[in-house]
Chains A and B, each alone.
Chain A
Amino acid sequence: SKEAGKKDNSTRYSLLASLSCSSTNTVVEMQNPSSGVKGAEQKLNVTTIPHVIAGETHTPIRVKVIKQEAQAFATMLVAYGYIYPLQNHKKLVMCNDASLYRFQTPYFWPTQKWVAEDTDYAIYLAKRNIRKKGMLEPYEQAHYNHLHEWLNHKWDFIVMQATEQYKVARERKKPDRVVFDCQERAYWIVNRPPRYTHSAMDYGPDRLIDPSADQVKGQYRHTHTHTHTHTEWRRLRILLEMVKYITNYKNHDPFLAPCLPSNPWQTESDAYWNLNTRRVDVPTKMRVERWSFSLFELLSDLRGRDDFKIFLKKEFSGENLAFWEAAEEMKWGTASSMSTKAEAIFKTFLAPGAPRWINIDGRTMGLTVKGLDHPHRYVLDAAQTHVFMLMKKDTFFRYLKSPVYKDIQKKALNPEPHNFSDSQVEQNARNRGMGIHPIILWQQEEEERAKAAIASAPVDVKAVMSKIDRKK
């Protein structure tokens, strides 16, 4: 058990900070006799309890809230213990029916500064035990036994307090006593929730560092003075580009436009995924359209990249993309493969007379070659960026105008939207397949890659020539 009262950890207070202003104000407002929620008297067993409200009349003051939201908000008030249920007292939700609730007394509100201590809980359980032996529920009995062991040194004090409180309670009038018992019980349901229930008071593990504590950190010593000197016009243009991007992708967003033939999660048919696999022969029209949005989109979709490669082959300019791919392999590869990859890339793309020599400016070439003395994963960054920009500003647009792209646009599929009846959807659900496991797909991809590497391996012309020379 943790006597967490002393530690002022920020996690708990950030949880309660959200409650302190808004919810306490709301709860006070709700109890306003003229504008608040209407209460009534209620006969419970032999006493009458005043100020009880039925769940369904419990729509909060704010008029602009939809019914479900009102219920969710009300459930929060119950979960945190501002309101407690009278009947099913262990279930801390607001039910939208005639079940009865009561406002909790402010003394027991969670925003009070004191933590619900184990000692207090022990006193409460002991008091209930005094009142009627065997009154405790199994989970409470388990807590009681546990506390009896851990707080054994204080047990006399605990029993004494419990007895005192019990005596004081007996002197109260019966309705007041019943009310207080309910309030106290509700408080402990919130702060010591029964097993297997979800508690809103849970906040997870404590944070390590208290952000408000005064500690010397290096950040005070060096601050990046990174100010953008953009004009307002430029910043406006940036926002417009964002709006344009979002508008462009609208029809491709399954939450905003229907995906054809249908969304698998809705109709239980995985046709949509089957039509959009990595190596599908004929892609869909939507997929092909997306390739035209940017070079990044085209290259990110491996099927699109394949199509781009077909175009580049026709133009005999595949080395730029090949270099870009090799640089990616290096960037995201294992640390141990850096030097071997660097060497292979240098030999293939950068060395004078290399079989797939890339045409980049002298300065970048110089920097890159120099950097290859100490190969690290970002050594090709400058060259890769240069090549990417070349492709982006020139090759990409020529691709979009090319017969290769126009051809695939024509061929692309436009699937008919599904129109399943409910029983057909159920049938689909029964026939749901496992799809191809990603591991198997990956193995297939590895095989394809190996095949492609062999097919495109540059012939070392010089070696062949010198071999022929030696034979002569």
Chain B
Amino acid sequence: MCDQTFMAITFGPCDNCSTTSPLMNIYIKNEPTNYCSFCVEMMACQGLLKGETLASLKNESESLKKKLEEERAKLHDVELHQVAEKIEVVSALSIKTRRVLKGHGNKVLCMDWCKDKRRLVSSSQDGKVIVWDGFTLNKEHAVPMPCTWVMACAYAPSGCAIACGGLDNKCSVYPLSLDKNENLAAKKKSVAMHTNYLSGCTFTNSDMQILTSSGDGTCALWDVESGQLLQSFHGHTADVLSLDLAPSETGNTFVSGGCDKKANVWDMRSGQNVQSFETHESDINCCRLYDLRADREVAVYQKDSIIFGVSSLDFSLSGRLLFGGYNDYTINIWDVLKGNRVSMLFGHENRVSTVKVSPDGTSVCSASWDNTLRVSRALGMPWLLVLYSLT
């Protein structure tokens, strides 16, 4: 995309334990030091030290945050929609549901597209994970999980495996098969182990690693083959609910969102939290766009008539449209540049849990607590229709 700022990692002996490993650059009592991620975690688990109280630590953190806000406020920044004033508006979209995938016995909690742009995997409260060919509506596999509330599922980049997990606190990988009748549960591979529910999982650029987020407040990177923990990410102070990888040239960062109202950007190599964005409590029913390089919020997408929270988001291929699945059973489509709502999708009978645009951008799939998934696409361009009627 745009010119990336590369951050080289330090690799060497830790200032605390002397083992050679990727290092995190942190400040202790305003002194810069290099600790390995294990030592950072150990330090984070310490209780109050001599001379510290909960109140004093909180005050220190608050004053640092305030300083950061003051620095940010000093710059009189333009808003995104001002920069995009001269851009053409998005003409009225007419989007129609093309497929309704029925088959789950209870709420559909998560879904993910396969790179072949037509297959997808979905997971449900009833403990079932289904692999569909969305194009033909064919159910290719149905995998029973040993737990209910399978909150996360992901399709491997090769299309040869899926990963899923939920209340079992694990993320397991199932290799898929060409044989519809094969019992996939027999080949299950337990990869990730958390101390609380799994809220999100995704493969990285290959089938060999998965990235997970959990209710225990951490994210982690795992080696699929051995189940080894490669890196853990500590910093959220409450359940982590979602994560997404950066589609960058370097492919080294990802973002996670938690109940502590923070969106944290992490460096996968060292485990370091490189950036953090905090939202205010009152606004739970809007979407915010943050620019990582400008390090600030650049747009907010909200409307007075929307009073329910968003559960899931995805961009269209160009990034111009933002699809948001809301708890009032609808999907709102926003113009990312102008900030206005372009369209709404109806049809679900309960809240929308996940919204994902297909890999080639030809459709968007929404999973809902009404036990169904819907695949929708734009019906046709109004200007095209006008051309036909003129001839």
Contacts and interface: CB of A to CB of B under 8 A. Distances in A.
A255 B316 contact: yes
Interface in A49-72: 62, 64-66, 68-69, 72
Contacts of A19: 307
B2 interface: yes
A219 to B, nearest CB: 6
B2 A438 contact: no
Contacts of A263: 362-363, 377-378
B230 interface: yes
A132 to B, nearest CB: 32
A313 interface: no
B83 A236 contact: yes
A439 interface: yes
B371 to A, nearest CB: 8
A381 B285 CA distance: 40
B96 to A, nearest CB: 8
Given A220-B58, A221-B57, A255 B77 contact: no
Contact of A432 (B22, B136, B309): B136
A224 B26 contact: yes
Nearest to A62: B305
A76 B308 contact: yes
Interface string A368-400: 000100101111011001001000100000000
B27 A222 contact: yes
Contact of A207 (B158, B239, B261, B330): B239
A438 B305 contact: no
B67 to A, nearest CB: 8
Interface residues of B, number: 142
A226 B135 CA distance: 46
B188 interface: no
A232 B75 contact: yes
Contacts of B205: 328, 331-332
Contacts of B138: 434
A253 interface: yes
Contacts of B99: 265
Nearest to A23: B307
B144 interface: no
A442 B1 contact: no
B93 interface: yes
B362 A219 contact: no
Contact of B61 (A17, A223, A432): A223
A295 B68 CA distance: 35
Interface in B10-24: 11, 20-22
B328 interface: yes
Contacts of B329: 72, 75-76
Nearest to A60: B305
B104 interface: no
B226 interface: yes
B337 interface: yes
Nearest to A198: B350
Interface in A265-319: 265-266, 270, 272-273, 276, 294-296
B170 interface: no
B104 to A, nearest CB: 13
B47 interface: yes
Interface stretch (A40-48, A164-172, A210-218, A450-458): A210-218
Interface in A128-178: none
Given A226-B275, A257-B381, A381 B178 contact: no
Contact of B319 (A14, A15, A17, A249): A249
Nearest to B45: A218
A200 B293 CA distance: 39
- Centre residue among A228, A250, A377 by max chain B CB count within 10 A: A228
Interface in B267-309: 269, 272-276, 284-285, 291, 293-296, 298, 304-305, 307-309
Given A221-B43, A256-B316, A76 B379 contact: no
A249 B361 CA distance: 11
Contacts of A238: 2, 291, 293-294
Contact of A254 (B118, B327, B362): B362
B163 interface: no
A141 B318 CA distance: 54
A204 interface: yes
B349 to A, nearest CB: 5
B362 A215 contact: no
Interface in A318-369: 328, 331-336
Contacts of B313: none
B75 to A, nearest CB: 5
Contacts of A247: 87
A422 interface: no
B185 interface: no
Contact of A438 (B6, B45, B159): B159
Given A200-B350, A440-B178, A388 B309 contact: no
B238 A210 contact: yes
Contacts of B27: 222-225
Given A240-B83, A254-B360, A222 B377 contact: no
A263 B96 CA distance: 13
Interface in B211-251: 215-217, 223-226, 228, 230, 234-235, 237-239, 248-251
B318 A253 contact: yes
Given A246-B320, A250-B320, A438 B238 contact: no
A232 B76 contact: yes
Nearest to B319: A246
Contact of B208 (A69, A207, A257, A332): A332
Contact of A442 (B64, B95, B159): B159
B237 to A, nearest CB: 5
B237 A264 contact: no
A392 B98 CA distance: 40
B360 A276 contact: yes
A420 to B, nearest CB: 12
Interface string B129-147: 0000101101000000000
Interface in B157-186: 158-160, 167, 176-178
Contact of A225 (B64, B259, B293): B64
B334 interface: no
15 contacts: A18-B309, A18-B327, A72-B328, A238-B294, A246-B320, A254-B361, A265-B99, A296-B249, A332-B208, A334-B224, A382-B8, A385-B8, A388-B249, A435-B118, A441-B159
Given A220-B58, A334-B226, 4 more contacts: A66-B344, A218-B43, A224-B26, A334-B224
